[in-house]
Amino acid sequence: MRPTRSRTSFTRFAKWTAKATGRPAAFTAAVLVILLWIVTGPIFGFSDTWQLIINTGTTIITFLMVFLIQSTQNRDAEAMQVKLDELIRLQQGGHNALLDLEELEEEELDKIREGYCNLAEEARTRLRRGESDTGVPELKDEVAQARREVREEKRELQEVKRRG
């Protein structure tokens, strides 16, 4: 079964470029270009123009590839996040409050992560005592508290903007 085709020409081009440049043949071609450039050095007397050609070429390619790679990575990361959200949603006992964590502010995320770090430390302590480390402790209070704090901060920020 073929995957759904991208609708925009930029997306199709970015995917094609990412796939093509990630192959051994593309790396080999890049090495050959550099070798050709090196071999032509004595022919052109290692001139400034000779150096400028490789510098300009590699700079342009690098500049354009940054945007194509970032586009592809953004799309892949978003797709992965949606898949993870779906796994959380489907897991009985999973915390739906953990869906779309990537949208939270850094402080909220840090508080939730701290809760998970504490759980991990408690589990390791139980393992050291020879106890089981399995279980699904509730985190909804920690997640709800972090979200309340962010909502309050957003309200305060809106109030400041409204006054200013």
Reported as a single tens digit per residue, the pLDDT across 108-163 is 888 888 888 888 888 899 889 998 877 766 666 666 777 787 788 888 888 888 88
Residues 135 and 80 placed together within one structural domain of the fold: no
In a domain, 47, yes or no: yes
Report residue 109 CA to chain centroid gap. 16
In a domain, 3, yes or no: no
CB atoms within 10 A of CB 113: 11
Q: Is the pLDDT higher at 28 or at 164?
A: 28
In a domain, 2, yes or no: no
Domain boundary at 90, 108, 137, which?
A: 90
In a domain, 102, yes or no: yes
pTM exceeds cut of 0.75: no
In a domain, 145, yes or no: yes
Sign of the torsion angle spanned by Cα atoms 16, 22, 24, 27 = positive
pLDDT at 3: 60
pLDDT category at 23 given cuts 50, 70, 90 is very high
* Count of structural domains, the chain: 2
Q: Residues 65-102: pLDDT tens digits?
A: 999 989 889 989 888 988 888 888 888 777 777 788 88
